[in-house]
Amino acid sequence: MVFIGDFKLYENNIRELASLTQTVRIFSTDIGLDLRFSNFAMIQMKRWKIGSSKGIELPKGEKIRSLEEDEGYGYLGWPKK
């Protein structure tokens, strides 16, 4: 079993982020990683301000949701603030 605790993807816009996410999904499947996109979240920022997004739709009905402005983020088991 392989465990990845945390990773981040950065792109300039939602379309590029969706494409990069698809590449990660394909590569992960090829090497035997099972990514649980239900545990993923994204945030869109512009000039250090949180923007609005509906998340990213993936094949097979999967979706990466968008974090809400007041929602915390935990990093590798650290508590959410």
pLDDT at 1: 47
pLDDT at 61: 80
Tokens of residue 57, six digits: 């739709």
Mean pLDDT of the 66-79 span = 66
pLDDT at 80: 57
Residue 49: which region, alpha, beta or left (left: phi > 0; alpha: psi -120 to 50)? beta
Strands of the 41-42 sheet, one edge to the other: 41-42, 63-66, 56-57
Indicate the burial class of 56 (C-beta count within 10 angstroms; 0-12, 13-18, 19 or more).
buried
pLDDT category at 2 given cuts 50, 70, 90 is: low
Compute the residue count for the chain: 81
- In the predicted structure, residue 4 carries a pLDDT above the cut 60: no
Pairwise pLDDT comparison (4 vs 47), residue with the higher score:
47
- Domain layout of the chain by residue ranges: 14-66
